[in-house]
Amino acid sequence: MADAAIHPPAEAGAFEPPFLGAYSKKVGMWLFLLSDSLTFGALLFAYSYGRLSVPHWPTPFGAHSIANASVMTACLLSSSLTMVLAVLAARRGDSKWQFNWILATMFFGTAFIVLHAMEWAGLIHEGLRLPIFAEPKGAAEAAGELAQAAQTVPQFPATFFGLTGMHMLHVTIGVVYLGVVALRKKFIPILLGLWLVGWLMLPADSPFKYGIHVLLLCAVVAAIIVWLRPKVYDAHDVEISGLYWHFVDLVWMFIFPLVYLMSTKI
Amino acid sequence: MAEAAAHHDEGKSQYFWVWAALLVITVVEIVLAYKQVLDPLHMLGVLMVLSIIKAALIIAYFMHLKFETPRMKFLLMASVTACLCLMCVFFADALRVLHLGVK
């Protein structure tokens, strides 16, 4: 009886193959990405609905903004290439190149975030802001074109900042995710250091003064995960993180033309 | 499935080709935006087609869905496409608002 319990059944097909032909973590990530695509789909549809229903939709993106967004797109596309190379390195057991390619992906992702934040700062400085936020003191730009557009078409800043902010949040979480996969516990103090420096250095009227707390939240969640379940992340984990990263890239392939290229002022 | 996985791992050149194709399509999109040769409706159509091609390349090659089982491919892509298409029902209302001039 004991032997029967220990030995696996001999007959073929006793262990049923997975329904979708993939390991459970991968199926789980795909299902999450499916639900997340609906979140971004809803935001993109909200933006498009506003654009269709408002006759004079602002077109604030000049040649400089388009050039900036193009570089951001190139950064994300290049990060997807380095990510897939990291997955390949993980599959062949090359931990050194797996680490290097993940770091390269994080570099491109961070470049994207910095460029995007600079663009946001420029637009906010020119007067594009949500109605709930007060005008800055002595704002000479309050009569500017973007400030007027924000007042007459409040749907534009609401959907623009909502959509691109959600995407920026996803990229930030993606960089943290990759950092944890590559560096594990060592990444937590780096994250906390970045949060502290950012919080102290950013000016008080910057929206990123509050946004930087995302790094603190990520550090707490990552710390809980790596301390409760410490492990060396294997090729499957790298592939799962790659799926998330490519999804972030994929979403931008729709935001870039719909939001930027369709609203050019050249 | 294991054979397919081993096969597509052999060369990394395909990923460089996909990356180059994605960059080229992006450049085409940017040139279209700068030249402004198309009216907005046609521009939207062209950009959407190019974006869907880019998305398909990313999903198929970078996300390796091309190498998954047919069942997984169909379930994932059919469900997300159906859900996103259902959202289009709201566009009729957006056009109605535009024509009625509702503020």
Backbone φ, ψ for residue A264 (5° rounding): -85, 150
Q: What is the pLDDT of residue A207?
A: 81
**Which among A70-84, A112-126, B83-97 has the top mean pLDDT?**
A70-84
What mean pLDDT do residues A166-188 have? 95
Among left, alpha and beta (phi > 0; psi -120 to 50; other), residue A137 is beta
Express each pLDDT in B35-83 by its tens digit: 888 888 899 999 999 999 999 999 999 999 998 999 999 999 999 999 8
Q: Do B47 and A55 touch (CB under 8 A)?
A: no
d(C-alpha B20, C-alpha A206), whole Å:
37
Report, as an integer, the average pLDDT of A230-238.
88
Q: What is the pLDDT of residue A15?
A: 67
The partner residue sitting opposite A246, judged by closest CB among B9, B62, B93, is B62
Torsion over CA of A166, A167, A172 and A176, rounded to 10 degrees? 100
Query: Would you call A85 and B12 a contact, using CB atoms and an 8 Å cutoff?
Result: yes
pLDDT at A142: 55
Q: Domain extents for chain A?
A: 22-48+61-166+236-263
Contact A88 B23 (CB under 8 A): no
**Does residue A203 surpass a pLDDT of 90?**
no
Residue B87, judged by CB atoms within 10 A of its CB (0-12, 13-18, 19+), counts as middle
Q: Do A45 and B95 touch (CB under 8 A)?
A: no
Which residue did the predictor score with more confidence, A2 or A260? Answer: A260
Within 8 A of A53 by CB-CB distance, chain B residues are 94-95, 97-98, 102
User: How high is the pLDDT of residue A13?
Assistant: 56
pLDDT for position A147: 81
The ipTM estimated for the assembled molecules is 0.86
Task: Kindly determine whether residue A66 and residue B33, on different chains, have CB atoms separated by under 8 Å.
Answer: yes
> pLDDT for A21-63, tens place per residue?
788 889 999 999 999 999 999 999 999 988 888 888 888 888 8
pLDDT band at B103 (very low <50, low <70, confident <90, very high): low
**Segment A214-240 mean pLDDT:** 91
CB A105 within 8 A of CB A245: yes
Q: Grade residue A3 by pLDDT with cuts at 50, 70 and 90.
A: very low
Question: Cα angle vertex A136, ends A132, A138, to 5°?
Answer: 140
State the pLDDT at residue A178: 96
Nearest to B94 among A52, A246, A261 (CB): A52
Q: What is the pLDDT of residue B101?
A: 67
- The reported pLDDT for the residue numbered A148 is 80
- DSSP readout, chain A? -HHHHHSPP-STT-SPPPTTSS-HHHHHHHHHHHHHHHHHHHHHHHHHHHHHH-TT----B-HHHHHHHHHHHHHHHHHHHHHHHHHHHHHTT-HHHHHHHHHHHHHHHHHHHHHHHHHHHHHHHTT---TTSPPPTT-GGGGSHHHHHHHH-THHHHHHHHHHHHHHHHHHHHHHHHHHHHHGGGHHHHHHHHHHHHHHHS-TT-THHHHTHHHHHHHHHHHHHHHHS-----HHHHHHHHHHHHHHHHHHHHHIIIIIGGGB--
B36: left (phi over 0), alpha (psi -120 to 50) or beta: left
Looking at residue A10, its pLDDT comes to: 52
Q: What is the pLDDT of residue A209?
A: 86
CA distance A48 to B89: 12
- Choice between B101 and A66, residue whose per-residue pLDDT is larger: A66
Q: How far is the C-alpha of B48 from the C-alpha of B54, rounded, in Å?
A: 10
Least confident among A9-13, A85-89, A210-214, B37-41? A9-13
Instruction: Check residue B3 and give its pLDDT.
Output: 47
Contact A250 B90 (CB under 8 A): no
* Mean pLDDT to the nearest integer, A113-128: 89
pLDDT confidence of residue A154: 86
What pLDDT score was predicted for residue A150? 80
Tens digit of each residue's pLDDT (9 = 90 or more) over B19-34 = 999 999 999 999 998 8
Chain-chain contact of A243 with B47 (C-beta, under 8 angstroms): no
Average pLDDT over chain A, rounded to an integer? 87
The pLDDT-based confidence of B92 (bands split at 50, 70, 90) is: confident
Query: Residue range A136-146: average pLDDT?
Result: 60
CB contact under 8 A, A257 and B55: no
Please report the pLDDT score of residue B2 as a whole number.
Answer: 46
pLDDT value of residue A2 = 44
- In order of A100, B25, B74, the CA distances from B57 in angstroms are 24, 11, 16
Mean pLDDT confidence for A6-16? 56
- Other CB atoms within 10 Å distance of the CB of residue A214: 16
Q: Which of A164, A158, A153 is nearest to A133 (CA)?
A: A158
pLDDT of residue A62: 85
Predicted confidence at residue B8, as pLDDT, reads 52
Mutate to test the interface with A, among B22, B27, B43 (most CBs of A within 10 A): B22
Interface of B with A in 64-103 (CB under 8 A): 64, 68-69, 71-72, 75-76, 79-80, 83-84, 87-88, 90-91, 93-95, 97-98, 102
Q: Which fold has domain A22-48+61-166+236-263?
A: Four Helix Bundle (Hemerythrin (Met), subunit A) (1.20.120)
